[in-house]
Structure 1
Amino acid sequence: MLYALFCISLTTEVYAQTSENNYDAELAAALGADDYGMKSYVLVILVTGDAKITDEKQRNELFRGHFANMSRLAKDNILVVAGPLMKAEPKRGLFILNVSTVEEAEALVKTDPAVQAGIFTYELSALYSSAALMQVGEIHSSIQKLTIE
């Protein structure tokens, strides 16, 4: 049994350290990838806040600001992935931010008008994931037929 565990461990280690033939060093560098094709991000979970804004015009304006802020961060290559969480109340949505620290992410999240108004609060976590996420925005713009305004 111990021998079998040693073989599994050795096999896993060998596979984890092999290089694929299609490795693109230039792309890896451009995306900020480490040797495993990974990089650091910060995951933001937006949570329903305490604010109860019933004025529809004010609420719509805050959400327009929320989406404008997201667009700005995406154009600046900071917002990598975003989307609503479906049927997960009180959790409402997520961002993956291209920043190295939770402190940087928090400063950026605080620029969101919906966060400032208390519609959302947030949870922050360091995330280690594929550097390929950096290409989601570019790919998405090629397949997006309608925009959110």
Structure 2
Amino acid sequence: MKNTYRVFSVMLFALLLWNCQKETKEKTEGTNPDQNHTEINSKFDSVKAAAYGADAYGMKKYVIAFLKRGPNKSVDSLEKSKLQRAHMENINRLAEEGKLVLAGPFFGDGDLRGIYVFNVDNLEDAEALTNSDPSIQAGVLSMELKEWYGSAALMAINDLHYSISKNDIVE
């Protein structure tokens, strides 16, 4: 799965970006209380901002699906293997369509299995996309959806990931 391991690096990237923006804001706030000013980023690229759907802060709305262990626990190993392959094919299809920004599993064997970050701005669209997953359809996984505000630069992650992944992860 091309999208499996990017979850952790992207979340770290988003956290670092948020922290940098926070520090910049803190440094510029309060420098002159009588002056209402906004500093313009000298590296701002309006073409990229528009292509990624960024607002003035370089951010945009996404929907995250937290994938959890589903109610169907009676799936045999052959069926699990088939579902996993179909799950991965669905992930790759959604990524190629630009609807899935990133996806990946969590480590361990807990009930929280993985996440999807969707390039949609409402829960209904994210639910429809999550429901296209064969593992969700089979009840092996279930989902919890949350709206999230994060860096619009995440929209570049799929192209970047493909340029650094030597092998495809299928199962």
TM-score by length of 1: 0.88
Task: Kindly provide the amino acid, as one letter, of the partner of residue 25 in structure 1.
Answer: S
CA–CA distance in structure 2, aligned partners of residues 18 and 9 of structure 1: 10
Deviation of 1:10 (Å): 2.7
Aligned partner (choices 53, 76, 83) of residue 32 of structure 1: 53
Deviation of 1:27 (Å): 0.6
Q: How much is the aligned-residue C-alpha RMSD, in angstroms?
A: 2.2
Aligned partner (choices 96, 105, 114) of residue 84 of structure 1: 105
- The runs of at least 4 aligned residues of structure 1 exceeding 6 Å deviation read none
- Does the CA-based 8 Å contact 1:53-1:59 persist in structure 2? no
CA–CA distance in structure 1, aligned partners of residues 75 and 49 of structure 2: 47
1:23 has 2:65 as partner: no
Q: Flag structure 1 segments of 5+ consecutive residues without an equivalent.
A: 1-7
CA–CA distance in structure 2, aligned partners of residues 84 and 78 of structure 1: 18
Q: Flag structure 2 segments of 5+ consecutive residues without an equivalent.
A: 1-27
Q: Which residue pairs with 2:169 in the alignment?
A: 148
- SS of the aligned residue for 1:94 comes to strand
1:125 has 2:146 as partner: yes
Identity %: 41
Change (3 A) 1:53 1:146: farther
TM-score by length of 2: 0.77
Aligned partner (choices 62, 66, 69) of residue 83 of structure 2: 62
Mark the structure with the bigger radius of gyration.
Answer: 1
Partner deviation per Cα, 1:1-29 (whole Å, 9 max, x = no partner): xxxxxxx9634x98x93211010001100
